[in-house]
Amino acid sequence: MIRLQNIQRRYVSDEVETTALHDIDLHVAEGEFLAIMGPSGCGKSTLLNTLGTVDRPTGGRYLFGDRDLAALDEKALAKFRGQTLGFVFQSFNLIDELTIEENVALGLAYRADAGNRRARVAAAMDKVGIAHRAHHFPHQLSGGQQQRAAIARAIVGDPKLILADEPTGNLDTANGEQVMNILSGLNAEGATIVMVTHSPSHADMAKRRIDMLDGRIVASAMRDI
Amino acid sequence: MNRSALLSLYRSLTRHRLYAALNIGGLAVGIAVFLVLGLYVRFETSYEKWLPDHDKLYVVEEYWNQPGSPANGYSTGTMGGLIDELREDFPGIVGTRMQVMDANVIRPGSATSEAFGYADPDFLDVVPLPMARGDGRRALRDPSAVLVDETTAGKYYSGVDPIGRTITLAVMGKAANYRIAGVFRDLPKATVQRFSIIARMPSPHPDAMWRHWGSERVMTWLRFDTPADAARLAGQLRGFVDRRGAKDLGDVTKQLSLPVTPVTDLHLQTPGRKLTMTTLGLVGLLTLLIAIVNYVNLATARAGLRAREVAMRKVLGADRGALVRQFLGEAVLTVALAALIGLILAELGLPLVNSAGGLSLVMPYGLVVPALIGLTLIVALIAGLYPAVLLSRFPAAAVLASARSPGGGRAGTRVREALVVFQFALAIAFTVGTTVLVAQTQHVRSTDLGFRRDGLVIVGSTADSALDKAQVASFLQEVRRLPGVRMVTTSDSTPGYSTGNSANVEVPGRSDSGPSLQWITVGPDFFPTFGFRLLAGRLPDAAHRLDDMRNAPKDSDPVNILVNRRAAGLLGFATPMAAVGRTVGNGAPRTIIGVVDDARFFSPRDPVNGTVYYYASGQAQFPRTTLRVEGDPRRMVEQLRAIWRRVAPQVPFSAKTATQDLQDYYKADERAARLFGIGAGLAVLIGCVGLWGLASFNTARRVKEVGIRKTLGASSADIVKLLVGQFLRPVLIANLLAWPLAFVAMRAWLAGFDDRIALSPLYFVGASLLALAIAVLTVLGQSLRASRAAPAWALRHD
């Protein structure tokens, strides 16, 4: 489904040039659950952002199916994200001024085919067990509940790919487990997931794991099933 | 405030220069507008307050209330002998009078017109004009002495002592020599009745109408120790008028009253002036308010961003009191800086405002500096208290633990939105006001006056009583020969100048005394020269004997007249045609031979008077000459002046175009419109600056949200729509407040004009569209920038 070829990402600020990604080659198959691990600053999040098209590579090719995403302009990329991707962040990134229901509905706000909105939002909230908090504001919820709301937002549009950036990083063990169980469940239902994590046990719940160091993929391993 | 608090303020100002500039600059401009318009209001309310004992001085006015009469309203002129009759009926009353007119100062080969006052010998006892030289009181007891003001003394006796010098004055056509016995201080600008030379009034006065009720010859002054004394006399004047006036006025006495007005109230009695002053004062006040709102808005918005600093200070031991003191201290310092800049701006802007408003305002520092200190404390308290209390209340632990800064939450956002609504409502109302003011002042300049105002030159000096008939005839003869002069006529009233003659005209079959109509005596070619429109009947000519009032020497002799449309209506005729051929005036039969359209010779504020035109074949009694000319009328005036110098060098020459003569009626409103425009424009600008600051603050706060939305697939256009839309809502709500406000205000202002524009909805829609456009442009730049930010960067931003 996804093919990255020689992907590079360089940041230039003032007189310092930093290379966050060195010639990354990566293939993600449909239905896969991929975990990316590595120490802080190794380029995990940059890779994830590149996959999510919220960061543009400075070199290489990014093929999604048979589409070359490098050829798309900003508007087309925005449409692509809205139609194809779901995001889960470490810090949840819910909008403080919107209720949980409104936050989840935001996942449909920028899609042309967003019919039956209320039912889809309700179903997504139901799936992650947050429906009873629909009319609360983010700050009224615990971290685990907020992250479940963020997952509901990510899946409400039925995305082809879910990108999760340390989804359990801000959660305690119990809430972390709960979130990982939801992600595993989604994968079992057919969702493709790429997740960045620091937690070996959570990485073990993925089907494949790659390790990064200094902007390069240094190891790749399939989970023993 | 301790050192670290000062340092924190300094850093906050210098690190966020743009915010500081907007915050302080906006407030400074608001303060400057408030100061300048405050000075204007102070000037307008300062009339006659320079006079010693001004609070004891009153003027007896005439107030006419005759249905449809041209003379209705207040007049500071009373009959000459009023004070004598008052003394007879109310012994012990203290009063005096002055008759002001133009007099000519005659010097070898030239004559100059000066404002001259004939005063009672006790004038300076009652009205103590400040003297520069000499004993004024003694001088006024000497019929051969005059007092001059400093400017006149300098003009005619530059570099020499004027005291004891002889000056030749032609007063009411009679020339005589006077000795200058004293110099009084120049009357300040804030003076209603202006004069530069005073002489003792002749006694008995030669005017036949001196004790004729209803005439207006002098200003009658009274002096009372307390307002209660003045009120007591005022209460007795109704009976006095009824008792004394009937001999001259008959039934009409009831329509005259004699109000006793404090001399300091005279200036603002002129129609429209008080409203103009109040409006401009309000503009100043509201502009300051907009600026304060801005300041509070930006200050509270910015304050939220300093929550972490506050939390740290709390952790380090600062109590709430200390924090409140810190924030109030900061507000005082910042507002003081704004006040200082505002003062500088006001001082720099004064020359501009003076020229736009025809004023000569100066900054009275002794008054302004303490006022500014007071203002600084008040504004600082308003602006500083809310953030001070809000911020000092933040729970330190929660702020330090949270990734986001508290900014007052939804309530804070709502307060800020309400303030934006308030600002824009005023800005829109001001814009409507300015547009209507400008449209009205343009309208009166270009409207159809009922005669063609372009190409008319009016020579007022042919009416000078010092001129003899041969001089007038010879001047007119030469003028007619000038190339470019198409037509010449004479009349006793011209645009901007009225004899004030009016009389009741009885209508056969009606029991009342008939409508009060203005009458104007006109010479040959009057109607075609002015370009009047004849609605019905015919114009007067030499072929009809009764057309010429010279053939009707007695008042009771029948004579033909023309009337204007309004007079025809007042006389009870349904159409102009119906009036033609009808005879009005019982004892003095007047047959209407023609009806002309209403011609507005006077203020656009007053209704066109019902007017009777008498035709006289020769020269009228005091003929003002009007020429219809081709080419540049100003050049024509120079040619006329050259002829005048040959024909009548001893009489001052004065000629103006009709447009110049009418200018006096428009000047005050045009000045007010300009001042309003400047004030309103700056208020709108401050509003925009505030909106810009708030928009940039809000956009900055929403960077993370922009990132989330973009990640979820929002395009740049979606983001711009979202951010711009957020500000359009308050601007749209502002219209709901602004429209009724502007409608009521502008309807009240326009009601002061008889000739006025319609209050079209276009002014309102236009102002709203303008406000919307300004709001969109103000917010668009930042929204575009925010929308273009890479989402990954936006998500890292907090």
pLDDT, one tens digit per residue, over B754-764 is 899 999 999 99
- Flag whether residue A15 sits within 8 Å of chain B, measured between CB atoms: no
B8, amino acid identity: S
Residues of A in contact with B413 (CB under 8 A): 97
Instruction: Specify whether B472 is located in the same domain as B604.
Output: yes
- Taking the C-alpha atoms of residue A79 and residue B790, their distance in angstroms, rounded to an integer, is 15
How far is residue B559 CA from its own chain's centroid? 42
Least reliable range by pLDDT among B149-158, B413-422, B488-497: B413-422
Has residue B678 been placed in a domain?
Answer: no
Compute the distance between CA of residue B273 and CA of residue B289 in angstroms, rounded to an integer.
Answer: 24
Provide the pLDDT for residue B798. 46
- Does the pLDDT value for residue A8 go beyond 90? yes
Q: Alpha helices of B702-760 — where are they, by DSSP H?
A: 703-711, 716-750
- Burial class of residue B595 (count of CB atoms within 10 Å of its CB; 0-12, 13-18, 19+): buried
Q: Indicate whether B330 and B371 sit together in one domain.
A: yes
Can you tell me the mean pLDDT for B377-387?
80
- The shortest CB-CB distance from B704 to any of A93, A109, A111 is to A93
What is the predicted pLDDT for the residue at A32?
Answer: 94
Residue B682 lies in a domain: no
Is B7 part of any domain? yes
DSSP state of A142: -
Q: Does the beta carbon of B718 lie under 8 angstroms from any beta carbon of chain A?
A: yes
**Nearest-CA distance from B710 to chain A in Å?**
7
**Do A223 and A210 meet the contact criterion of CB atoms below 8 Å apart?**
no
pLDDT tens-place string over residues B278-303 = 988 998 998 888 888 888 777 777 76
Instruction: Enter the tokens of residue A183.
Output: 């992600």
Is residue B718 a part of any domain in this protein?
no
Is the confidence metric ipTM above 0.90 for this complex? Answer: no
* Number of other residues whose CB lies within 10 A of the CB of residue B529: 24
Asked if B304 and B250 sit in the same domain, the reply is no
**Chain B residue numbers touching A87 (CB-CB < 8 A):** 711-712
CA distances from B429 to B84, B426, B727, B743, B768 (A): 53, 5, 18, 8, 9
Q: What angle do CA B503, B504, B509 make, to 5 degrees?
A: 155
Q: What percent of chain B has pLDDT over 90?
A: 43
Mark whether B286 and B380 lie in a shared domain: yes
Confidence of residue A188 (pLDDT cuts 50, 70, 90): very high
Chain A residues in contact with B709 (beta carbon < 8 A): 106, 109-110
Nearest CA in chain A to B703: A95
Summarize the confidence of residues B708-713 as an average pLDDT: 83
* Interhelix angle B716-750/B658-701, nearest 10 degrees: 150
Lowest mean pLDDT among A151-160, B394-403, B623-632, B749-758: B394-403
Based on the fold, state whether residues B288 and B403 are members of the same structural domain.
yes
- Specify if B791 maps to a domain: no
Of chain A, the end-to-end C-alpha distance in Å amounts to: 22
Q: Is B688 contained in some domain? A: no
* Domains parsed from chain A with CATH numbers: 31-56+74-222 (3.40.50.300)
Domain boundary among B237, B265, B293: B265
Estimate to the nearest angstrom the gap between the alpha carbon of B363 and the chain centroid. 21
Q: Report the pLDDT value the prediction gives residue B796, as an integer from 0 to 100.
A: 61
* Substitution target from A11, A12, A81 for chain B, most B beta carbons within 10 A: A81
Confidence of residue B318 (pLDDT cuts 50, 70, 90): low
Give the A:B interface size as CB pairs under 8 Å: 66
Cα Rg of chain B, angstroms: 34
Using the predicted structure, report yes or no on whether residue B793 has a pLDDT greater than 90: no
Q: For residue B316, what pLDDT is reported?
A: 64
Q: Looking at A4-13, B377-386, B438-447, B674-683, which range is the least confident one?
A: B377-386
Q: Is B715 on the interface with A (CB under 8 A)?
A: yes
Residues B375 and B464 in one domain: no
B205 in any annotated domain: yes
- Residue B577 CA to residue B298 CA, distance in Å, equals 69
Q: Do B711 and A52 touch (CB under 8 A)?
A: yes
Mean pLDDT of the region B478-492: 92
Instruction: Return all residues near B632 (Cβ < 8 A) that are at least 6 apart.
Output: none
Query: CA–CA separation, B555 vs B480, rounded Å?
Result: 33
Number of domains forming the structure of chain B: 3
Characterize the bridge pairing of strands A216-222 and A208-213. Answer: antiparallel
pLDDT at A45: 86
Kindly report, residue by residue over B306-316, the tens digit of the pLDDT: 666 666 666 66
Could you tell me if B713 lies within 8 Å of chain A, comparing CB atoms? Answer: yes
Q: Are residues B84 and B217 in the same domain?
A: yes
B143 and B282 in a single domain? The answer is no
Q: How many residues does chain B have?
A: 798
**Residue ranges making up the domain that contains B62:** 57-265
Considering the domain architecture, whether residues B361 and B295 belong to the same structural domain is answered as yes
Is residue B712 less than 8 Å (CB to CB) from chain A?
A: yes
**Nearest-CA residue of chain B relative to A78?**
B713
Average pLDDT over residues A78-101: 84
B42 and B63 co-located in one domain:
no
Question: Which of B217-231, B249-263, B315-329, B653-667 is the least confident region?
Answer: B315-329
Whole-angstrom distance, CA of residue B70 vs CA of residue B84:
28
Which pLDDT score is estimated for B69?
66
Mean pLDDT of chain A: 88
Mean pLDDT estimate for chain B: 86
3-state helix, strand, coil in chain A (%, to 5): 35, 30, 35
B467 lies in the same domain as B503: yes
The pLDDT tens digits of the residues spanning B388-427 come to 777 666 655 555 545 444 444 555 667 777 888 888 898 8
Please identify, among B664, B679, B711, the residue that sits at the C-terminal boundary of a domain.
B664
Q: How far is CA B119 from the centre of its chain?
A: 30
| More confidently predicted of A83 and B237 | B237
Do B43 and B61 share a domain, yes or no? no
Out of B265, B300, B316, a domain closes at B265
Q: Which residue has the tokens 């939804």?
A: B410
- The reply to whether residue B709 touches residue A82, judged by beta carbons under 8 angstroms, is no
